[in-house]
């Protein structure tokens, strides 16, 4: 009886550790606004070596964008109507506003580099599910 109880207890501990190691059932944790702003700021600074004023202005534009983005996502989740297409339509004005601000901060060449190279590298990537079936 002791062996059986120990085996069951060990199995439960192992299962809890395995689930926790996988990220708790989803593996995705949204970064905070501050973390995302810092990441964008680092990419801009390393690419363009902006002065402190321009970098602060860019940080402000990104913070406003990310706060708006979080609000759209939270509103859609709370309504139970999470539709990716509708979400993208609601985020479009936020992106346009951010881009207008960035255009006043960056030169035309810097902005082009931002849109073509840096911005795509910042988009979250979906991880493959494994076992796709393409043999």
What pLDDT digit, counting tens, does each position of 75-116 carry? 888 887 777 888 888 889 999 999 999 999 999 999 999 899
Picking from 36-40, 72-76, 88-92, 129-133, which range would have the lowest pLDDT averaged per residue? 129-133
Burial zone of 98 (CB within 10 Å; 0-12 exposed, 13-18 middle, 19+ buried): buried
What is the residue extent of each domain of the chain?
30-122
Please say if the pLDDT value at position 59 is more than 90. yes
Report the distance separating Cα 36 and Cα 59, nearest Å: 10
Structure tokens at 45: 């600074």
**C-beta separation of 37 from 59 below 8 A:** yes
**What predicted TM-score, i.e. pTM, was given to this entire model?**
0.68
Cα–Cα distances (Å) from 93 to 42, 50, 54, 70, in that order, read 24, 26, 22, 14
């Amino acid at each position: 009886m002791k062996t059986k109880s120990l085996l069951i207890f060990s199995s439960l501990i192992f299962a809890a550790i395995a689930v926790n190691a996988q990220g708790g059932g989803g593996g995705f944790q949204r970064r905070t606004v501050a973390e995302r702003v810092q990441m964008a700021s680092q990419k801009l600074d390393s690419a363009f070596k902006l002065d402190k004023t321009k970098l602060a202005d860019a940080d402000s534009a990104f913070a406003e964008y990310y706060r708006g983005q979080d609000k759209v996502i939270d509103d859609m989740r709370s309504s139970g109507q999470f539709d990716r297409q509708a979400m993208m339509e609601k985020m479009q004005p936020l992106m346009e506003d951010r881009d207008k601000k960035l255009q006043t901060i960056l030169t035309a060449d810097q902005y082009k580099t931002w849109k073509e190279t840096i911005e795509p590298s910042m988009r979250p990537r979906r991880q493959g599910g494994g076992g796709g079936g393409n043999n």
